[in-house]
Each structure stands twice: as C-alpha cells, then as structure tokens.
C-alpha cells in the first residue's frame, strides 16, 4: 500500500476527529462514573479516599468498546464533512473510490485494532480484578475512616451506633459510647477511652475500650445486666481481607484459554469482539456516512450511534446465550460479526454501484 498524499490527508482528518470523539466519550463516561461513586460515598458505601482509584480503574475497563465507537463516529463525522464540502466527489473523479479509501484507512485501523485487542485481552481484566480488590479493601476500612469526634456514626460492621467525644492525633479516643444489638437484646457500652487495634492472629479490626460499663437487656424490659470492665473489645471489621468474588471479567485471558466451560468461552469471545468491531465499523462507516450536499455534516451521526447500539446489544445477547447454554459456542458471537461484514459489503456495493474487489480483478 502506497502512503500517498491522499492517504495522509484522510488519516489526519479521520485520526484527529476520532481522537476528539474519544476525548468526549471519555469525559462522559468519567462524569457518569464520578457521579455513581459520589453517590456511594454519600451512602457511606465507599470512603472518599477511594474515589480516584476506583474512577481510574472503571475508566480503563471501558476503553475496549469506547475506541471502536470513537472510530465509527469519527469516520461518520469525517466523511460527512468531506461530502458536505464536495471533496468526496472530487476524490471519486480522481479515481479514489471506496476500496481505495478503506485501504488508506488501514494505516489507522490496524494500529487501533491492536491497541483495542491489548486493552480488551489484558488491561480490562486486570482493571476489573484490581477494582474488585480495591473495593473490598475500601469497604473493609470504611468504618475506620468515617469515625469523627462529636458525631453519632452508624456502624455496619459493629451493627450499631458509635459516638466519640474527642480523638487525639495518635488515634486515642476519649468518651466513647457504643449501642448495638445481639439476640434481640440491646447492648450499651460506655468507656473512658478506646483505640482501634488489629488482632495479630485473626487480622480482625477491633475497638478496644478501657474503664467503662456494659449494659445488656431488652428495651422496656424489667431487668438489665450491668458489667464493669477495665478492658473490652468490639470487632469492627473481619480479617483478613475478604475473598474477592471472582467474576468472569476478572479472570486473566490466559486462564480462559485453558478452560472449556461455556461461561469462559463466552467471556473469551466477548474480549475478542472489540478489535473485530474496529474493522467492521470502519467498513460500515463508509456507506453510512454517504450524504447529499444539503444533509450536513451531522446528518448520519444518529444512525451511527444506533448502529453501534444494535451491534453491541447483539454481542451482549449472544454472550448471555452462550453462558446460559442456549447458543452453541461454535456459533457464538461470530454470527454477529459475520452479519455486520455482509451488511457492510452489500451496503457499500449498492451505495456506490460497485462490484467486489475480487470480481474486478478477474474481469
């Protein structure tokens, strides 16, 4: 393939437009993820210190399908502008047809497909696995980070309410009050001081209280038990780190290749789909973006979005069908890519009145 002036021009226009679309899509996904994480922080399901880590990992997981969408929208916008400015008819008059355009775009599509394959097969599983581990760690330490002097705090770990009058710089709490329930009884604990500690054997996080009283009984009941203690411990968090729930998307690709379960095959085919989508969407973008001089640059943008949604939805449905045993792994998601390939070829030839490249060579 010769890297001509026209090829460089097309690559610059399509590459810059796709890059701009990628930035916009990343911003949208980044904002949506940020809103979701802030909602978890507001509900005390995530400590504020974990927002940036979770945000970065969540964004990495989206890149595999974000770049194919950016390519489709970028191509639609680029060719839409070329048609609006009558540059495509000029290129056609110079002998540059759809097949020549596609060959020129391979200089851009092949590197993008390789990057998408790396993101989908390696980066996305690592990001999902790391995000699950980080989230488990953050949830384990959540109760410890939200303790603030002078505030009543609802503790899910201690299954009750905690109040601390004051806290020194070294973590020693003064004037501690704890209310919890066990076996239909209410437990009230009042202590002069307390400190968070970790059990060296079990790894549990404990709230160790000194010089206080423990009251046990039923609210409104006739009798209560009172215990005076010098030292008393209440478990706040279990340890060690809870086992992370292993999901298909967190399993490394090399492990999936060694398995033969339908769920593993479905996940592997799902990860192989984004790089194939890059080629199929590029093929579809050429006839999709063909517009009249009065339609405008954004005339086919909505159609491109709908096309990507349909493509993505069919892949998602096929993957679920494989996992559920309703679709053979041999058919898998490949029928979706084959359908899009046939659609792109037929659409391209009918839109431009062309024959297939192999037919032209034989003629």
pLDDT in tens, 149-187: 777 777 655 567 888 888 887 778 889 888 888 777 888
First to last CA, the chain: 22
**Residue 138 to residue 339: CA distance in whole angstroms:** 44
What pLDDT is attached to residue 273?
Answer: 93
Higher pLDDT, 174 or 88: 174
Q: Where are the alpha helices (DSSP H) in the chain?
A: 5-42, 51-84, 87-93, 98-118, 124-145, 253-257, 262-288, 301-323, 334-352, 357-362
Q: How confident is the model at residue 239 (pLDDT cuts 50, 70, 90)?
A: low
Express each pLDDT in 106-121 by its tens digit. 888 899 999 999 999 9
Q: Residue 138 corresponds to which tokens in the numbers above?
A: 């953050």
23 CB contacts (<8 Å, ≥6 apart)?
none
Q: Does the global pTM surpass 0.85?
A: no
- Partners of 160 in the beta sheet? 155, 180
Q: So what's the pLDDT on residue 1?
A: 45
DSSP 121: I
Q: What is the pLDDT of residues 25-55, one digit of tens each?
A: 888 888 888 888 888 777 666 777 777 888 8
Q: Which of 82-91, 100-109, 222-231, 319-328 has the lowest mean pLDDT?
A: 82-91
Sheet holding 224-237, edge to edge: 152-155, 160-167, 173-182, 185-198, 205-217, 224-237
If one counts every other C-beta atom within 10 angstroms of the C-beta of residue 25, the result is 18
Give the Cα separation of 265 and 330 in Å (integer): 10
* Residue 363 pLDDT > 50: no
For residue 146, the SS3 value is coil
Q: For 54-58, what is the mean pLDDT?
A: 82
- Over the range 209-248, which residues count as b (16 or more CB within 10 Å of their CB) and which as e? beebebebeeeeeeeeeeeeeeebebebbeeeeeebeeeb
Q: What is the mean pLDDT of residues 256-282?
A: 90
Average pLDDT of the chain? 80
Reference 277, options 304, 302, 249, 248; nearest CA is: 304
Whether 87 shows a pLDDT value over 80: the answer reads no
Contacts of 346 (CB under 8 A, 6+ apart): none
Residue of higher predicted confidence among 10 and 341: 341
**Model confidence at 139, in pLDDT bands (50, 70, 90)?**
low
Model confidence at 2: pLDDT above 60: no
Task: Give the pLDDT score at 297.
Answer: 59
Kindly list the domain boundaries of the chain, sorted by start residue: 5-142+245-362, 158-237
Q: What would the DSSP string read from start to end of 56-119?
A: HHHHHHHHHHHHHHHHHHHHHHHHHHHHHTTHHHHHHHTT--HHHHHHHHHHHHHHHHHHHHHI
> Do 249 and 58 contact (CB within 8 A), yes or no?
no
**10 contacts: CB under 8 Å, gap ≥ 6:** 78, 101, 104, 105
Distance of alpha carbon 143 from alpha carbon 161, whole angstroms? 11
Separation CA 64–CA 22 (nearest Å)? 12
């Amino acid at each position: 393939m010769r890297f001509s002036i026209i090829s460089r021009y097309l690559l610059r226009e399509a590459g810059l437009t796709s890059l701009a679309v990628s930035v916009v899509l990343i911003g949208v996904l980044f904002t949506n993820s940020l809103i979701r994480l802030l909602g978890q922080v507001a509900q005390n399901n995530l400590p504020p210190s974990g927002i940036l880590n979770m945000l970065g990992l969540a964004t990495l997981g989206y890149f595999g399908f974000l770049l194919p969408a950016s390519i489709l929208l970028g191509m639609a916008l680029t060719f839409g502008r070329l048609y609006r400015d009558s540059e495509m008819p000029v290129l056609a008059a110079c002998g540059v047809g759809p097949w020549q355009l596609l060959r020129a775009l391979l200089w851009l599509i092949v590197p993008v497909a390789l990057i998408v394959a790396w993101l989908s097969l390696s980066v996305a599983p690592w990001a999902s696995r790391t995000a699950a581990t980080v989230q488990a760690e953050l949830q384990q330490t959540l109760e410890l980070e939200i303790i603030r002097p002078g505030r009543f705090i609802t503790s899910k770990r201690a299954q009750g309410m905690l109040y601390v009058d004051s806290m020194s710089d070294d973590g020693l709490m003064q004037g501690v009050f704890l209310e919890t329930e066990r076996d239909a009884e209410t437990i009230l604990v009042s202590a002069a001081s307390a400190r968070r500690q970790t059990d060296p054997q079990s790894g549990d996080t404990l709230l160790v209280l000194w010089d206080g009283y423990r009251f046990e009984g039923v609210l409104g009941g006739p009798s209560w038990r009172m215990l005076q203690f010098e030292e008393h411990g209440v478990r706040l968090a279990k340890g060690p780190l809870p086992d992370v729930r292993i999901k298909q998307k967190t399993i490394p690709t090399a492990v999936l290749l060694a398995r033969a379960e339908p769920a593993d095959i479905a996940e592997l085919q799902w990860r192989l789909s984004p790089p194939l989508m890059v080629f199929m969407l590029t093929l579809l973008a050429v006839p999709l973006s063909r517009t009249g001089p009065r339609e405008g640059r954004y005339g086919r943008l909505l159609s491109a979005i709908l096309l990507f949604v349909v493509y993505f939805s069919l892949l998602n449905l096929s993957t679920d069908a494989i996992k559920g045993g309703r679709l053979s792994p041999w058919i898998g998601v490949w029928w979706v890519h084959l359908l899009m390939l046939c659609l792109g070829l037929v659409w391209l030839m009918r839109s431009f009145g062309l024959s297939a490249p192999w037919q032209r060579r034989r003629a």
